[in-house]
Amino acid sequence: MANRGRASSETRSAARRGALLLRGSDGPAASSARDFPRIGAAHGARAARVRSWRAMGEVELSVQRYSAEVVAHRHAHHQLVLPVEGALSIAMAGRELRAAGRSGVLVPCGARHAFAASDRNRFLVIDVPLASAEALGAAPWFERSAGGPVALDAAAALLVHAAASELDGAGSVALRRQWAGLLVLTLAERGARGAARAPEKLRRALRFIEERAHEPLTVADIAARAELSPGHLHHLFRAVLGTTVQARIADVRLARATELLSRTDLGIAEIALRCGYADQSCLTRSLRRRRGVTPAALRRGVRSGRPAEPRRGGA
């Protein structure tokens, strides 16, 4: 048991060190646990939505087990990593997240991340292309939750375990797609209900950010619209959303820029201006810092369907 504790601690430390990868190298990284130091140093509407998604046939679900091998890559789709057993450490954008217990992780499209697990583990992994998230009506939830934890209540956790039991080593493609659609919709609708329970003044602030993210925005502007003091607004964002006002603005802008890069032929400079960035270089810096990729590389990866380090089923 003591050895397991040390291994788990070592794995978490490795994932933290793996965050260095997200700021630098674009190449794949993989090694055994004994090479962790080297790695760290180097680097009614629901049914309609389901029918629409089924016609696309792009969402994929699998049951995965991970080793202590540290891997760093990115992929051209959103990915939900939902725990069934054990824990997976994921380092992304300088932050460490853990998929364990009743907390999953949503890895956004194009985000470079390093991950490793230890001991016995099992995870439900759902790959969701941008177009499929939109077809399911879940795109707003993916935008809000990208790069962060995904809370599982008791009912959602039971659903995850049921899917894993049903599909681990078995299950047709059609059955897996049905489960994937059900899980995505369940989590998205629970997330939407949670947002709806936020205080009215906070909802007002969130709507204002959504409506004006393409314009220069200050905390004072948003607080005034919500009829709050800037200090109270900061407190609400921290207490209810677990984030900051500026981080929320950045998330909205980056989500919109990612969508335009993926689905239009607009120039990068024009996309930057449409999404509230001062110029193309500001968008490039933000995308590189938060996702570890440039706008041009993200566009190529999403359109080709071949991310820089293709590894199906990986976190």
For the chain, domains (ranges, CATH) are 2-196 (2.60.120.10), 200-304 (1.10.10.60)
pLDDT in tens, 34-74: 333 333 333 344 444 444 443 344 789 999 999 888 888 88
Most confidently modeled range among 67-76, 100-109, 230-239: 100-109
pLDDT in tens, 153-179: 888 999 999 999 999 877 788 889 889
Q: How far apart, in whole angstroms, are the C-alpha atoms of residue 110 and residue 113?
A: 9
Banded model confidence at residue 306, pLDDT cuts 50, 70, 90: low
Q: What is the pTM of this model?
A: 0.57
What angle (nearest 5°) sits at the alpha carbon of residue 14, between those of residues 122 and 4? 55
Banded model confidence at residue 231, pLDDT cuts 50, 70, 90: confident
Most confidently modeled range among 34-48, 234-248, 297-311: 234-248
pLDDT over 50 at 91, yes or no: yes
| pLDDT higher at 311 or 232 | 232
Give the per-residue pLDDT at 136.
Answer: 87
Longest dimension (CA), the chain: 56
Q: Which of 208-217, 237-246, 252-261 has the lowest mean pLDDT?
A: 237-246
Give the per-residue pLDDT at 282.
Answer: 94
